[in-house]
Amino acid sequence: MKVNTMAELKAEGKMPEILFWVGCSGSFDQRAQKITRAFATILDKVGVQFAILGNEEACTGDPARRAGNEFLFQMMAYNNIHLLNGYGIKKIVTICPHCFNIFRNEYPELGGHFEVIHHTTFLQQLIDEGRIRMKESGGFRGKKITYHDSCYLGRGNNIYEAPRKVLEALDAELVEMKRCRSNGLCCGAGGAQMFKEDEPGDRRINIERTDEALASGATVIASACPFCNTMLTDGVKNREKETEVAVMDIAELVAASMQ
């Protein structure tokens, strides 16, 4: 794919409709790179003019702040704000709820004022506008799909309906886990837990959450966060169910089902 960077567009005197903020997981993790490609493919197909920062993109500083390194967070945030303001960026779409949350709720106090949209909300908008149309005999039609609420998307920002509306557009059967929406259980990766060892205990959170997903009888576990995807994928492998149950991001489900 030919994906424009902001530097390339600026050199041509152009401004994209949105900046696609890829995030560290979507950039470097091999599994999450597939989510990045799926979302970029969707944007390309429907004609959304977008760009990425490429090598200029740095971490938002979310893990640093969650882990208690406020100095490092503020240094990273100020650098990002300076870069984004320099390009005149107004609208950011990201596949990562962690990036979404910190841009939306914590950057403004440091002078970073942007319209920030999570990719599930953006996909719902594209479906509602008729820009995304699904195949009549999509691969997920009639399949049981359960959706895992990301903490940063759900409880953190009250986004529950957009991901579910996108899944409903697939003509799949949406089955809810016992704990869902505002009562959803964390995958175990939030709050910088992704980057540290587990605390002592007798059960890992991602295994408990995976068991709840498997109990729903779904053949697809849908996620909307690359960290959640990693934790749930590990849980499915731990239960040796990877041949029966797929863990997929909502963008991947849409990319595989759209006309």
pLDDT of 257 reads 92
Q: Is residue 129 part of a domain?
A: no
Q: Is residue 103 part of a domain?
A: yes
Domain co-membership, 157 together with 102: no
- Is the pLDDT at 1 greater than 90? The verdict is no
Domain co-membership, 47 together with 87: yes
Tokens found for residue 206: 């991602």
CATH code at 66? 3.40.50.1860
**Lowest pLDDT segment from 65-79, 119-133, 139-153:** 139-153
Confidence band (pLDDT; 50, 70, 90) for 231?
very high
Q: What is the DSSP letter of 136?
A: T
- Alpha-carbon span 217 to 189, nearest angstrom: 24
Mean pLDDT taken over the chain: 94
* Stretch 212-217: mean pLDDT: 96
Last residue of a domain, one of 71, 89, 124: 124
Last residue of a domain, one of 57, 91, 124: 124
- Alpha-carbon span 167 to 159, nearest angstrom: 14
Domain co-membership, 188 together with 96: no
Domain co-membership, 236 together with 148: yes
If one counts every other C-beta atom within 10 angstroms of the C-beta of residue 178, the result is: 10
Domain co-membership, 153 together with 102: no
| Residues of the domain holding 163 | 135-257
Last residue of a domain, one of 75, 97, 124: 124
Total number of domains constituting the chain: 2
- Is the pLDDT at 116 greater than 80? The verdict is yes
Domain co-membership, 230 together with 190: yes
Q: Is residue 1 part of a domain?
A: no
Q: Please spell the DSSP secondary structure of 182-244, one letter per residue.
A: GGPPP-S-TTTGGGSPPPS-SS-HHHHHHHHHHHTT-SEEEES-HHHHHHHHHHHHHTT-TTT
Q: Is residue 68 part of a domain?
A: yes
* Stretch 231-256: mean pLDDT: 96
Q: Is residue 13 part of a domain?
A: yes
Q: Is residue 141 part of a domain?
A: yes
Domain co-membership, 52 together with 106: yes
CATH code at 187? 3.40.50
Domain co-membership, 60 together with 139: no
Q: Is residue 130 part of a domain?
A: no
- Is the pLDDT at 57 greater than 80? The verdict is yes
Quick check: helix, strand or coil at residue 247? strand
pLDDT of 126 reads 97
Least Cα distance to 94 among 44, 36, 8 occurs for 36
Helical pair 30-46 and 226-238, crossing angle rounded to 10 deg: 130
Domain co-membership, 141 together with 252: yes
* Stretch 217-230: mean pLDDT: 96
Tokens found for residue 23: 């995030």
Domain co-membership, 116 together with 74: yes
The number of helices, as runs of H, and strands, as runs of E, in the chain is 11, 8
- Alpha-carbon span 254 to 7, nearest angstrom: 29
- Alpha-carbon span 175 to 209, nearest angstrom: 15
Domain co-membership, 116 together with 140: no
CB contact set of 73 (below 8 Å; sequence gap of 6+):
61, 62, 64, 65
Q: Is residue 107 part of a domain?
A: yes
Spell 184-200 as b/e; 16+ CB within 10 A means b: bbbbbbbbbbbeeeeee
Domain co-membership, 102 together with 35: yes
- Alpha-carbon span 215 to 207, nearest angstrom: 12
